[in-house]
Chain A
Amino acid sequence: MRSVLFWILALAAVGSSLTMITRSKPVHSAIAFLGTLVSLAGLFLLLYAQFVAILQIVIYAGAILVLFLFVIMLLHARSGEGSVEKLRLQRPLAIVLSLALLAGVSFLFLQAGLSEAPTPAAGMGTAEEVGKTLFDHFILPFEVASVLLLAGILGAVVLSKKESWS
């Protein structure tokens, strides 16, 4: 049962990712990305990480991707088709970067060895456990990340206020 679900979700994730990078309309890409996010949330569920799965949807699908769509629609309201602005070195750069990513990921896999994934403990991904781990083990990175986000918000405020100052 679990491996069947895993294969369905994994294929859906890879398929929608491929769709995302091959569409010409940005809105279609964004919707394909939504598919990727939802399949990833399903994979988290298979690992008993309910809380992480829900957060994946609430934050990525519910906030970030909606803002993407927002920008796409405001910029290319009529067709949703971007006038594709190509950087000069876009293609070679993309190939180099994705090869580097592939190398890094395969290095990690080969180092760890391809073995059967251990079955996670059932209570591992609940809200309680995630909260405890976050505020116990990872309290420093957690707080640093929040300061970083605050800086981002302040930056946005300052940038949008710029005109009224002069």
Chain B
Amino acid sequence: MGPLWVVLAITAVKSLVVIVALLTAFAYMTWLERRLVSRFQVRIGPNRVGPFGLLQPVADGIKLFFKEDFMPSGADRALYFIAPGLAMVTAFTAFAVIPFGPPEVKLWGVPLLQIANPNAGILFILAVSSIGLYGIILGGWSSNSKYPLLGALRSSAQMISYELGVGLTLVSVILLSGTLQLPQIVEQQTLTWFGFLPRWNIFVIPVGPLAFLLFLIGATAETNRAPFDLPESEQELTAGYHTEYGGMKFAAFFVAEYVNLVTASAVAVTLFFGGWDGPFVDQVPLLGVLWFIAKVFAFVFFFIWLRATLPRVRYDQLMDLGWKLLVPLAILNLAITSAIVLIWPSLGGG
């Protein structure tokens, strides 16, 4: 590796590129979601601004930018300002450990297609997203209003409950891989079975599919997406924790939600679907980025589809599902995975 300033400069450029890419993805995900949900509901959706309505996000951005910057009476000044920033910053930070291409692509010895590769790897995402929760809680509390507070309380209870199931599920994937670091987890999945079937974790029967299902349910709940979008269920809570926010501060919460969705999709792809792995990546490493984006996009589409299809669950159903089904199944899955790894150590990284 080059001297410290080179590493720092490359990292800064990488971060900038990723942030811009995520912001663009956010803008067009709002458009895609509105268009797709309209299609699912036999409506047309925004199609007036530009061809196919493609400039709609720009128009929305300009509108939000010129909105009045207000503060509800009795709000807690400092926390009301900090909350959206906290939510947005942590959403971007979590993406830092996701590898979006093969580690061979280097510049002065610094891998270009991942921002950071800490030893704790996947745990970093859990840590950062747990800080992001404060954005929601503080936003709800500092607005000095009933609905946001209820939304914030629901959100934090939901996220704490489902983090347990997701965490336990992650442990079984970590056992299969024998490492916490995401590039190594992907690297192991680039191998093949019988010479043709990719060794993605989803194909490790029976634990892979179960772990994936549990992770998918948990991730949907943790990103507050339908059918688990109780923290912002509009019929009961107006908009949930960001009811009292407007303009760019509301936009910050919105960005955080969509970026979290992208990160959740990226984690699912990385852990279960071989990350950037795909045909011809060993010849053209940069192709990995395209595979990665395609897989993430498939997940984003799936989450939108889910929202258009399923009705919202009730709060007690949500808690029952989390504690009485997800956690026991995750523990069962963990036990089976441990047994398998013990019997066939070649499956685990060890």
A residues with CB within 8 A of B: 25, 27-28, 31, 34, 38, 50-51, 53-55, 57-58, 61-63, 66-67, 69-70, 73-74, 77-78, 80, 125-127
Contacts and interface: CB of A to CB of B under 8 A. Distances in A.
Given A50-B120, A70-B157, A31 B79 contact: yes
Interface residues of B, number: 26
B28 interface: no
A57 B157 contact: no
Interface of B: 76, 79, 118-120, 123-124, 126-128, 130-131, 133-134, 137-138, 141, 144, 149, 152-153, 156-157, 160, 163, 180
14 contacts: A34-B134, A50-B118, A50-B119, A51-B119, A54-B126, A58-B123, A61-B127, A62-B127, A62-B131, A63-B130, A66-B134, A70-B153, A73-B141, A73-B153
A115 B348 CA distance: 44
Contact of B156 (A51, A66, A78): A66
A57 B123 CA distance: 10
A132 to B, nearest CB: 13
Contact of B130 (A57, A73, A74, A126): A57
B348 to A, nearest CB: 14
A127 B134 CA distance: 26
Of B79, B123, B126, B163, most buried by chain A (CB within 10 Å of CB) is B123
A62 B120 contact: no
A66 B160 contact: yes
B155 to A, nearest CB: 11
A166 to B, nearest CB: 24
A54 B153 contact: no
Contacts of A69: 134, 137, 141, 156
Contacts of B128: 57
Interface of A is mostly: helix
Contacts of B156: 66, 69-70
Contact of B124 (A38, A54, A77): A54
Contacts of A62: 126-127, 130-131, 133, 163
Which of A51, A58, A74 has the most chain B CB atoms closer than 10 A to its own CB? A58
A74 B150 CA distance: 10
Contacts of A125: 119
A119 B128 CA distance: 27
B133 A127 contact: no
B123 A27 contact: no
Given A54-B124, A57-B131, A62-B126, A127 B180 contact: yes
B149 A54 contact: no
B138 A73 contact: no
Contacts of B120: 50-51, 53-54, 127
A38 B149 CA distance: 25
Contacts of A80: 76, 141
A34 B128 CA distance: 13
B130 A58 contact: yes
A55 B126 CA distance: 10
Contact of B141 (A27, A50, A55): A27
Contacts of A126: 119
Contact of A66 (B76, B133, B141): B133
B96 to A, nearest CB: 13
Contacts of A28: 79
A70 B130 CA distance: 14
A73 B149 contact: yes
Contact of B123 (A34, A54, A70, A78): A54
B179 to A, nearest CB: 9
A67 B144 CA distance: 20
A25 B157 CA distance: 22
A105 to B, nearest CB: 28
Contacts of A27: 76, 79, 138, 141
Contacts of B133: 62, 66
Contacts of B130: 57-58, 61-63, 66
